[in-house]
Amino acid sequence: MAKAVGIDLGTTNSVIAVMEGGRPEVIVNAEGNRTTPSVVAYKGDERLVGQIARRQAALNPQATLFEVKRFIGRRWDEVKDEAARSPFTVKEGPGGSVRITVDGKDYAPEQVSAEVLRKLVADASAKLGQKITDAVITVPAYFDNSQREATKQAGEIAGLNVLRVINEPTAAALAYGLERKGNETVLVFDLGGGTFDVTILELGDGVFEVKSTSGDTALGGADFDQRIVDWLAEEFNKEHNFDLRKDKQALQRLIEAAEKAKIELSNASETSISLPFITFDPETRTPLHLERTLTRAKFEELTADLLKRVRKPVEQALSDAKLSASDINEVILVGGSTRIPAVKRIVQDITGKTPNESVNPDEAVALGAAVQAGIIQGDSSLGDIVLVDVTPLTLGVEVQGGMIAPMITRNTTVPAKKTEIYTTAQDNQPGVEINVLQGERPMAADNKSLGRFKLEGIPPMRAGQAQIEVTFDIDANGILHVTAKEKTTGKESSIRIENTTTLDKNDVERMVKEAEENAEADKLRKEKVEKRNALAQLRLQATQQLDEHANAPQDARDRLKAVADEAEEAVNSDDDSRIADVQKRLEDELRDFMTKGAQAQPEAGATSASAAEDDVIDADFKPADDK
């Protein structure tokens, strides 16, 4: 059985890991790195993923997609503001969903994320020497149903069998707790690139039991970057009366410089930001440069309200777990943004504990996902590990007066199933529409509607007489299935909650096909390049041989040179059969030259540079102890 992997599909970076000899290990990518930027760029009909995509972002801002996780499974009206700040085009898609447009083509966020997954898995398959098909993918604990469903679909589009979707902080706790003995209550504080989660777990005897989880799916490192971007742009505007955020290329450079400055400020008390030639003066057309010094104190001032936002979810998680801060034994930091000194300070301030930094904040989530993949595959080295997780948000239905009637409350252990009986509000009501909601607010309209479905054909009855049995069934992935049944008629209706923002089955199938075709096109493109590289390499070898064997028979030299010259032209051509033909002839000529031509005795009187050199070596050099 091929191994299953664990994947941390991050907002900024992604990581893939696998169980090796009873321990989870990160698999390095084709570039030799342990993390892969979650960046996808489209360049003509070519797609670049990871570091190579990130590197060309400033030159290709409208076709370089990053932080796409912020849009996955979201509704357009939830992300409008974020979309407006993006250097690439994000717009409303079908049914209020989100689409990203590049060169006139629309992409679903799931599709873009699938490209990242595909690269991670392809590189890992090459490293492990086996085709990977099964994966556990992590999501922020606070992801709602449609965000989870969309992440699972991204996996499917990438051609993966998604064994399980698990919560990032729970995964991190698995990685942390694997080697710990004894009972502990831990708080995982996970502040990544785009999301914030806090989870409280009890660990002991191989049982990992999540007590509560809370968070903010719209808070992460990118918000800290944005504060620096805004500050830089406003300062520049004051000086030059030009808003750099309106120039997509300048904006991309600002974003990159802001993140760099933020990271530097984790270790230094000030940093300088220098962006020469950031734009042109609109009147004089002279180049303008941006030079600023940012101190850590100023950065903390710019981000003070973001820092404050982490407090409430921590307090909420403690109160839901019916614990106080003093009951927590360890605080584990996960996510790159926990390296910000002010973040560490605030965690310490809220919990009264010095955070435990024993886990690598960039890798713990993927390592834990690999452990979970091992558990599902029955990896015997893991012993009996039991993972008990919860659903982060309350699930319910809309009832009379636009209220929400909770069915499964937040922090209920998953999987879970709950049935309730509802009835009609009017006499002879022929049907009901069931609006499935997720959220903590009392009014339906303030929560997220996961989907609506109708139960029709209710026989004429007085109001309150119909017996409509509604069942909510939430699986181990945290994904919900709902059924409704009118008991007097036995009429049943059900939906697997797929709200309008998630893709329907046909879309997923089409995207799987497209992704496979793209992968095939990429493979062909790569093969094409490799063939040309091989020919160029061979030509180089031929010219080196010609240089080294200047005294070889002229006709052998001429023959080899003629084919080498042909190769020089052929490498630039698009004609594969010509490349193959020249490659074959050059190989033959080179072999011939090396066996016959180069070793042919020089004609009488002719001197061979290399033969002469050989003679010198023979005559003048001897092992030292021969003396």
Of 192 and 392, the one with the shorter C-beta distance to ligand AMP is 192
Catalytic pick from 69, 152, 262, 485? 69
Query: Tokens at residue 340, please?
Result: 């910000």
- Annotated active-site residue 69? The verdict is yes
Catalytic pick from 190, 202, 259, 389? 190
Write down the least CB distance from residue 223 to ligand AMP, Å: 9
Local structure of 160: helix, strand or coil: coil
- The one-character DSSP state at 325 is G
Measure the CA–CA gap between 289 and 282, rounded to whole angstroms: 13
Judge contact between 434 and 454, C-beta under 8 A: yes
3-state secondary structure 26-80: ECCCCCCCCCEECEEEEECCEEEECHHHHHCHHHCHHHEEECHHHCCCCCHHHHH
Of 13 and 502, the one with the shorter C-beta distance to ligand AMP is 13
Of 261 and 458, the one with the shorter C-beta distance to ligand AMP is 261
What are phi and psi for residue 437, nearest 5 degrees? -120, 155
Write down the least CB distance from residue 478 to ligand AMP, Å: 20
Measure the CA–CA gap between 482 and 398, rounded to whole angstroms: 13
Q: Which residues bind ligand AMP (CB under 6 A)?
A: 10-13, 192-193, 221-222, 259, 262-263, 266, 335-337, 339-340, 362
Of 227 and 557, the one with the shorter C-beta distance to ligand AMP is 227
Of 212 and 337, the one with the shorter C-beta distance to ligand AMP is 337
- Annotated active-site residue 327? The verdict is no
Which residue's CB comes closest to ligand AMP?
Answer: 221
Write down the least CB distance from residue 14 to ligand AMP, Å: 8
Residue 385, by phi and psi: left (phi above 0), alpha (psi -120 to 50) or beta?
beta
Write down the least CB distance from residue 363 to ligand AMP, Å: 9
Which runs of consecutive H residues, i.e. helices, occur in 158-220? Answer: 168-177
Write down the least CB distance from residue 139 to ligand AMP, Å: 12
Query: Tokens at residue 466, please?
Result: 């119909």
Of 140 and 374, the one with the shorter C-beta distance to ligand AMP is 140
Of 12 and 86, the one with the shorter C-beta distance to ligand AMP is 12
Measure the CA–CA gap between 313 and 319, rounded to whole angstroms: 10
Gyration radius (Cα) of the chain, Å: 31
Catalytic pick from 115, 149, 168, 498? 168
Write down the least CB distance from residue 190 to ligand AMP, Å: 8
| DSSP letter string, 415-438 | SEEEEEEE--SSTT--EEEEEEEE
Write down the least CB distance from residue 418 to ligand AMP, Å: 34
Write down the least CB distance from residue 194 to ligand AMP, Å: 7
Give the list of residues 6+ apart from residue 249 with CB closer than 8 angstroms, or none: 58, 59, 61, 87
Of 66 and 88, the one with the shorter C-beta distance to ligand AMP is 66
- Annotated active-site residue 592? The verdict is no
Catalytic pick from 3, 8, 78, 115? 8
Dmax of the chain from CA atoms?
120
What are phi and psi for residue 200, nearest 5 degrees? -110, 130
Measure the CA–CA gap between 437 and 454, rounded to whole angstroms: 15
Measure the CA–CA gap between 20 and 125, rounded to whole angstroms: 14
- Annotated active-site residue 119? The verdict is no
Residues recognised as catalytic: 8, 69, 168, 190
